Amino acid sequence: MEPGGLEWLLVPMQQLVSWGAAGAMVFGGVVPYIPQYRDIRRTQNAEGFSTYVCLVLLVANILRILFWFGRHFESPLLWQSIIMIITMLLMLKLCTEVRVSNELNVKRRSFAAADSKDEEIKAPPKRSYLDFDLNYFWHWSKFTDYVQCVLTFTGVTGYITYLWLDSFLFVETLGFLAVFTEAMLGIPQLYRNYQNRSTEGMSIKMVLMWTSGDTFKTVYFILNQAPFQFSICGLLQVFVDIAILLQVYLYSHYPQKPVSHTAHPASTKAL
């Protein structure tokens, strides 16, 4: 058979592989959070997952979308950011509802001024407007407070991006910040494990999914010649994932003496 006779088969196959890779890129990032979401919903316990993971991914993907307006990269990467933002908002909603339902006689915290007279009587806020106390930031009592914070961040960064969109240096820096923020997702978990000399309470399944997903994502960046920021930070993210897996092996086979100051239960997971 002549080589050209196989073109009718190879071209559709290449197209299918391309579509499959794009689909995996768009939806692959949210897969690790599906079992976590189901576990939280089933057990009504959100202590094993930190909402700061959602914060990091929301910031990273909002910045990535803004970067797209300055430098149009592949559409699957843009849709990945949109899907991830929706997923993180769903995780936040579930975690907030579960945490509040399990808290008794705890002072309510909010991003904006309290609008409930009942809440003001029970626990008057220390501040009249925005609560920027770092001890309670991103630990609010209503999902709407998180939405307000995300919209405020999006509005401010979007306006700044609009003003500086013609600056090559600003656009490239924005792209670097977007992917670097996401690459740092595992650093708090890495440090927390080292601090506690243990990986107890951490979802090993999620880390394994992170590692496989980040590896696929980095290869996708390199093969599709994505902006260099994506490839560099993708490699960094893979190295962090591997370091966490090494901690799992070391602390399970060679238990360390626990530190005297244990972490607060609500922050057992990475920041």
Contacts of 61 (CB under 8 A, 6+ apart): 80, 81, 82, 84, 85, 88, 178, 182
Residue 235 has pLDDT above 60, yes or no: yes
| Distance in angstroms (rounded) separating the CA atoms of residues 57 and 225 | 23
Top-ranked range on mean pLDDT: pick from 33-37, 169-173, 209-213, 219-223: 169-173
CA distance linking residue 61 with residue 188, whole number of Å = 18
Core vs surface per residue 57-73: b (16+ CB within 10 A) or e:
bbbbbbbbbbbbebeeb
Q: What's the CA gap between 12 and 249, in Å, rounded?
A: 43
* Residue labelled with tokens 């999620």: 206
Q: What is the pTM of this model?
A: 0.73
- What six digits make up the tokens of 37? 């979401």
Who has greater pLDDT, 210 or 241? 241
CA-based nearest residue to 230, from 79, 52, 32, 77: 77
pLDDT of residue 108: 61
- Taking only the tens place, the pLDDT of each residue in 67-115 is 999 988 888 889 999 999 999 999 999 999 998 888 765 556 666 654 4
In 3D space, the residue among 264, 246, 261 whose CA is nearest the CA of residue 199 turns out to be 246
Q: Report in angstroms the alpha-carbon separations of 131 from 84, 102, 114, 135.
A: 26, 22, 10, 10
